[in-house]
Structure 1
């Protein structure tokens, strides 16, 4: 019962993340990915950090910077680069290959050796991505594709390292550390690459508040709570809820279309993600076959 509750609560996070693309394209169409990434993490991270007044000490200062960069700073930056260059559904589905990278990293750090299903899932993922991006007509921005994939690697690394290192404080405080320290790296990049703070209207500000409070503060608190109580593969298995949400919202509100070849690619990727999380039963638990 508790495990089901943890899974259901953790599910909310990727569903909220799936709305990020439509919020970005409709409410914050300013094409400033580093600034939007900075504003998504730093304000809510600062508020939480000042409210709880618990700061990392010793080695956890460095760990907070590393985890924050992987889970927040780097991931946010690449996510918004992809969001501004690709349809929301495409960007989200490319990011959903994260479980494959999680499997590899879990093997290296957590000694969770992948099984045959994991290898098959990896091949399926590569095939699915190829069908998704190599469509016969139309154009997908190469930089957007690369950014989405790098974002997936960054997030997978953060998931596995979070599980590997654990957490020395409660979930909300731990989230505030990563939001704050992970956003700091974006400050110089925003000013150097994008020239600082752009002009914003009330709609832009409303969009930034939405992704800051709901898609970041609430979503990451639920996500890190799930990481602490579920296995890395259980957590990443929930990832496809994000692209499914993005596809649905894009189809309903933005009238985005997708080719038949891309539909096949999406189906293969989602199937591979699910397939990669299935545990191979031991001989003792295999059902008997009666003839």
Structure 2
């Protein structure tokens, strides 16, 4: 995303990424999905497409023009925190004390990490951090909206239809903000890889993982994103990894683990032998 956004800009990178993924998913939609169901759920699918791909991808592309991939990935890992918070407010899913502690820890980590980067990087860095947090909030709203309005719709249909809808909605800003100078082959290659591998194929693998291993185990991929992004950013882009980023990132991930009940201290406490 960073390589593509530096030449294509935020909107064109997001639009092309989603467009390439949508073209790859179109045959699956036509061959394996109930098209009548898709038509009945067209409006919710369009909204999910915007909230889960269109707007977040554009916000991340903007952020990556001003901050590192490592910092962006750590902020991205906070998405389950916003998901739990939105579900609490919208669906009245009252969390237990450990989930509340996880939410508090997660947002403390986000505040410390964001405050440190904004104070060092200035105004552009501040807007980039806010863009990342806006994207994660979109993910949280999208997850709750999907549970509320797309219950019973197969995951493949949601993925394919929402990508196609988001691609159509982003077509105008993609063309409007098209760069004056034609981007090079490296940027084009990055976008093709983003669309085919990191969006279309990744969605198929992720939903297959949900089906085979369950949503709780599938959610653990969240913990791997910052690790690989920090590694790739350091090796391929020469980005600096600071102790503050690692430390605050671990606080955020601990908050995510508690708020999503990936770590359940109550079970561990109950297993301890009584004296």
The reply to whether TM is greater than 0.5 is yes
In the other structure, the counterpart of 2:66 is 85
Deviation of the 1:228 alpha carbon: 6.1
Deviation of the 1:264 alpha carbon: 2.1
- Which residue of 49, 65, 72 corresponds with 2:26? 49
Map 1:1-291 to 2 at 5 A: 24-26=1-3, 29-30=6-7, 32-50=9-27, 52-53=29-30, 55=35, 57-135=38-116, 138-139=120-121, 141-164=125-148, 165-169=150-154, 171-192=155-176, 194-195=177-178, 199-226=182-209, 235-276=218-259, 277=261, 278-279=263-264, 281=266, 286-291=270-275
In the other structure, the counterpart of 1:21 is none
Deviation of the 1:257 alpha carbon: 1.8
Is the 8 Å Cα contact of residues 71 and 245 (structure 2) preserved in structure 1?
no
CA distance in 2, matches of 1:208, 1:144: 21
Long gaps (5+) in structure 2 = none
TM-score w.r.t. the length of structure 1 is 0.79
Aligned-pair Cα RMSD in Å: 2.9
CA distance in 1, matches of 2:23, 2:200: 11
Is the 8 Å Cα contact of residues 98 and 155 (structure 1) preserved in structure 2?
yes
CA distance in 2, matches of 1:231, 1:281: 21
CA distance in 1, matches of 2:90, 2:40: 19
**SS of the counterpart of 2:183?**
coil
Gap change, CA 1:228 and 1:147, over 3 Å in 2: farther
Tell me which moved more, 127-136 or 174-183.
127-136
Tell me which moved more, 92-101 or 25-34.
25-34
Deviation of the 1:288 alpha carbon: 4.8
Deviation of the 1:247 alpha carbon: 0.6
Deviation of the 1:101 alpha carbon: 1.1
Gap change, CA 1:144 and 1:99, over 3 Å in 2: same
Deviation of the 1:279 alpha carbon: 3.5
Is the 8 Å Cα contact of residues 135 and 262 (structure 1) preserved in structure 2?
no
**SS of the counterpart of 2:120?**
coil
Deviation of the 1:185 alpha carbon: 2.2
Tell me which moved more, 136-145 or 152-161.
136-145
Deviation of the 1:223 alpha carbon: 3.0
Gap change, CA 1:205 and 1:260, over 3 Å in 2: closer
Deviation of the 1:47 alpha carbon: 4.0
Gap change, CA 1:282 and 1:259, over 3 Å in 2: closer
CA distance in 2, matches of 1:225, 1:25: 28
Gap change, CA 1:130 and 1:287, over 3 Å in 2: same
**SS of the counterpart of 1:200?**
coil
Gap change, CA 1:213 and 1:45, over 3 Å in 2: same
Gap change, CA 1:256 and 1:173, over 3 Å in 2: same
CA distance in 2, matches of 1:177, 1:26: 27
Which has more helix, going by share of residues? Answer: 2
Gap change, CA 1:227 and 1:144, over 3 Å in 2: farther
CA distance in 2, matches of 1:100, 1:133: 16
CA distance in 1, matches of 2:113, 2:73: 12
CA distance in 1, matches of 2:225, 2:135: 14
TM-score w.r.t. the length of structure 2 is 0.83
